[in-house]
């Protein structure tokens, strides 16, 4: 089963070109449309007779198409609320007459129509206000000149004025009809309250705001045209009167601010830094004191990345054979309590037990003797935490025959110096 | 605080503080506290804070209309031509270039490209540019377009325009132009040659072109 509106939509679709031409021409002459298109569109209630010889689109269809196209021509006509208000009054009157005659079918029919018109009225008032607001925001559509803009302002001012009087009429009518419907116990009273009476205050406010903006705009444009006229007149006057320099008359008693604009003070630093006048110097110093300190902005340096340097673990140094022997020798001297011969100590079996030269090393007697003499003669050595001073006495070789002095020694005696 | 300091400096230097050229300074002044502080500060140097009617630009005016104030007003009136002529001829040139769409209000944008197009299409506008006199640094053989750039530059230097886009050469009219219009209105009101007073619209009766019936063309000549 197809929906009832399917036929309507298909009729509009079949005759879309004709709908468009009627939409464009406001009213189409009857002879311009084919008979089939007229039949189809009339069947869908899309076409209404306008007078005796032309067709018009159904107002709601035209309204819908305009909404869809969002057309903002320079001079938009608002929906006529006056006709709707008259229709509302007539329908309610008919409903009351039908009720008085106890013709309830007719009364219900009038109620249904009244409901539709109340919803339509609400819709068209909202739409008018929306459109006026939209027009204000686009400065009522683009026009080419100041003159056209002023005419456009007057157009919308008149439209807003008409709408305001319609709203006043509607306000009085709605209150009366709502009261009557309420007295009769009709549900339509609730509709009056919800759809018309409650939003009326807001509608009045919005319309008053729009009218106020329009008045301001009209005033502004009047001012603009006066300014530009003055500009052109003065320009022409200057070119026609090259000798005129200004007004010679005395200024009026009440001077306007425009003539009292003060000249600039030419603010400049008025100090000569080379002047050594005793009165100027303190002023210079004072000025210097009040000079703001130059703020040095230091750019923060990037944080330095510190990498700890760790010494590679080194292998323990192999003890020198002479050093190991010297340490053992020093301990022996300290324990002996008397001078100890360096070479004899090295040759003794006890020393051999103490002495353990590392593998691959050897001690030669002559080198050992020189090493001990150089290492211990007059030196203080820290052994087991205590400083110990050693004394070395060389055992000289016998002098060569005929020589007075000895140049070499064959051993040394070492003891701890008390 | 910084904006108020800027506003006070501008006022002391004789500039206009308007919402287009100096929006921050204007906002700082357009508060009860800002007005109070600026008023106190200007009062100390013998000035007061004045504002163009309708919430326009702020400027410094003489505090009291004493001898000095009247002397200043008299000098302003006597040198009106010197004060106004360059700006008048430049703004009138721009108005002619913009055609019927011109309003020359604070906040209006003036695009160099649009005026250039008008130079090409409007002979009167081009001629007007060539006839501009007393332009600083202008050469007699320079093109109308070069002159147009000079006109806009001069208006910008005088504080009537600010550059909005240096790449596209779009300028915006500042609030100072309202003061200029007020000065023009004062001149119009006080100069008999410009005033509308005494002008009466009337339609003069015209003699009929066709002689009335019974009259002959040479009726006035007595036939001998």
pLDDT tens digits, one per residue of A77-100: 778 888 888 888 888 889 889 988
Residues of A in contact with B60 (CB under 8 A): 261-262
Residue A152's φ and ψ, nearest 5 degrees, are -65, -40
Residue A317 has pLDDT above 80, yes or no: no
Residue A379 has pLDDT above 90, yes or no: no
Residue B16 has pLDDT above 90, yes or no: yes
Measure Cα distances from B62 to B68, B69, B182 in Å.
9, 6, 17
A245, A251, A258: residue with CB nearest B70: A251
A238, A251, A264: residue with CB nearest B85: A238
Chain A: give the shortest CA distance to residue B93, in Å.
10
Closest residue on chain A to B103 (Cα):
A224
Is there a contact between B104 and A230 if contact means CB atoms under 8 Å apart?
no
Q: Across all residues in chain A, what is the average pLDDT?
A: 81
Mutation to test the A interface, candidates B10, B62, B75, B155, most A Cβ within 10 Å: B62
Residues in Cβ contact with A143 at an 8 Å cutoff, skipping those fewer than 6 apart: A74, A149, A152
Q: Can you tell me the ipTM of this complex?
A: 0.83
CA nearest to A203, candidates A138, A121, A134:
A121
Is there a contact between A232 and B188 if contact means CB atoms under 8 Å apart?
no
Is there a contact between B61 and A224 if contact means CB atoms under 8 Å apart?
no
Q: Across all residues in chain B, what is the average pLDDT?
A: 82
* CA separation for the pair A257, A181 (Å, rounded): 63
Is there a contact between A259 and B85 if contact means CB atoms under 8 Å apart?
no
* CA separation for the pair A138, A217 (Å, rounded): 13
Q: What digits encode the pLDDT tens for the residues B24-65?
A: 999 999 999 999 999 999 988 888 999 988 778 999 998 877
Is there a contact between A224 and B81 if contact means CB atoms under 8 Å apart?
no
Identify the DSSP state of A154: H
B78, B100, B181: residue with CB nearest A246: B78
Closest residue on chain B to A267 (Cα):
B13
Residues of B in contact with A260 (CB under 8 A): 50, 61-62, 65, 69, 72-73
**Residue with more model confidence, B100 or A226:** A226
Is there a contact between A144 and B193 if contact means CB atoms under 8 Å apart?
no
pTM for this model (two decimals) = 0.51
pLDDT of the residue at B33 = 92
Measure Cα distances from A289 to A182, A275, A282, A284, B32 in Å.
86, 17, 10, 8, 34
Chain A: give the shortest CA distance to residue B164, in Å.
23
A230, A255, A265: residue with CB nearest B188: A230
Residues of B in contact with A139 (CB under 8 A): none
SS3 A382: strand
* CA separation for the pair B20, B10 (Å, rounded): 14
Percent pLDDT > 90 in chain B is 29
Is there a contact between A259 and B77 if contact means CB atoms under 8 Å apart?
yes
């Amino acid at each position: 089963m197809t929906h009832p509106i399917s036929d309507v939509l298909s009729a509009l679709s079949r005759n879309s070109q004709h709908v468009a031409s009627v939409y464009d021409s406001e009213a189409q002459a009857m002879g311009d449309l084919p008979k089939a298109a007229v039949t189809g569109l009339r069947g869908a209630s899309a076409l209404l007779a306008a007078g005796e010889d032309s067709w018009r689109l159904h107002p709601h269809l035209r309204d819908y198409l305009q909404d869809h196209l969002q057309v903002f021509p320079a001079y938009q006509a608002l929906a006529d609320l006056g006709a709707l208000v008259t229709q509302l009054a007539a329908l309610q009157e008919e409903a009351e007459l039908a009720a008085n005659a106890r013709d309830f079918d007719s009364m219900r029919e009038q109620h249904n129509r009244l409901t539709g018109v109340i919803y339509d009225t609400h819709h068209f008032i909202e739409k008018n206000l929306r459109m006026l607001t939209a027009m204000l925001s686009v400065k009522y559509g683009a026009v080419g000149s100041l003159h056209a803009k002023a005419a456009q302002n007057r157009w919308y001012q008149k439209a807003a004025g008409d709408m305001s009087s319609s709203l006043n009429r509607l306000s009085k009518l709605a209150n009366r009809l709502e009261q009557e419907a309420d007295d009769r116990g009709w549900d339509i009273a609730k509709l009056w309250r919800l759809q018309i009476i409650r939003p009326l205050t807001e509608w009045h406010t919005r319309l008053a705001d729009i009218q106020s903006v329009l008045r301001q705009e009209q005033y502004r444009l009047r001012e603009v045209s006066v300014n530009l006229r003055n500009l052109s007149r003065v320009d022409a006057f200057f070119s026609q009167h090259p000798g005129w320099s200004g007004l010679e008359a005395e200024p009026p008693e009440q001077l306007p601010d425009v003539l009292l604009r003060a000249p600039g003070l030419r603010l400049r630093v008025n100090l000569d830094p080379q002047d050594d006048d005793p009165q100027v110097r303190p002023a210079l110093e004072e000025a210097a004191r009040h000079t703001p300190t130059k703020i040095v902005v230091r750019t923060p340096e990037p944080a330095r990345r510190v990498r700890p340097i760790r010494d590679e673990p080194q292998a323990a140094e192999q003890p020198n054979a002479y050093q190991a022997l010297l340490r053992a020798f020093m301990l022996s001297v300290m324990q002996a309590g008397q001078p100890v011969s360096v070479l004899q100590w090295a040759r003794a079996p006890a020393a051999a037990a103490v002495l353990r030269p590392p593998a691959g090393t050897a001690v030669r007697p002559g080198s050992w003797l020189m090493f001990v003499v150089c290492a211990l003669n007059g030196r203080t050595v820290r052994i087991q935490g205590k400083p110990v001073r050693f004394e070395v006495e060389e055992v000289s070789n016998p002098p060569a025959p005929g020589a007075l002095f000895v140049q070499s020694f064959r051993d040394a005696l070492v003891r701890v110096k008390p | 605080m910084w904006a108020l300091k800027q506003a006070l400096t501008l006022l002391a230097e004789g500039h206009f503080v308007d919402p287009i050229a100096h929006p921050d300074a204007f906002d700082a002044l357009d508060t009860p506290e800002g007005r109070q502080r600026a008023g106190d500060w200007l009062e100390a140097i013998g000035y007061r804070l004045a504002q163009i009617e309708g919430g326009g630009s702020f400027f410094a005016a003489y505090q009291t209309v004493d001898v000095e104030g009247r002397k200043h007003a008299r000098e302003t009136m006597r040198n009106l031509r010197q004060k106004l002529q360059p700006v008048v001829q430049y703004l009138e040139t721009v108005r002619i270039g913009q055609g019927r769409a011109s309003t020359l209000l604070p906040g209006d944008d003036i695009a160099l490209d649009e005026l250039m197009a008008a130079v090409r299409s409007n002979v009167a506008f081009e001629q007007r540019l060539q006839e501009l006199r007393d332009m600083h640094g202008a050469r007699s053989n320079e093109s109308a377009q070069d002159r147009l750039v000079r006109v806009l530059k001069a208006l910008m230097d005088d504080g009537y325009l600010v550059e909005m886009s240096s790449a596209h050469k779009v300028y915006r009219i500042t609030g100072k132009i309202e003061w200029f219009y007020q000065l023009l209105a004062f001149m119009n009101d006080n100069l008999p040659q410009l005033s509308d007073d005494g002008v009466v619209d009337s339609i003069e009766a015209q003699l009929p072109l066709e002689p009335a019936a019974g009259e002959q063309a040479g009726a006035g000549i007595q036939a001998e």
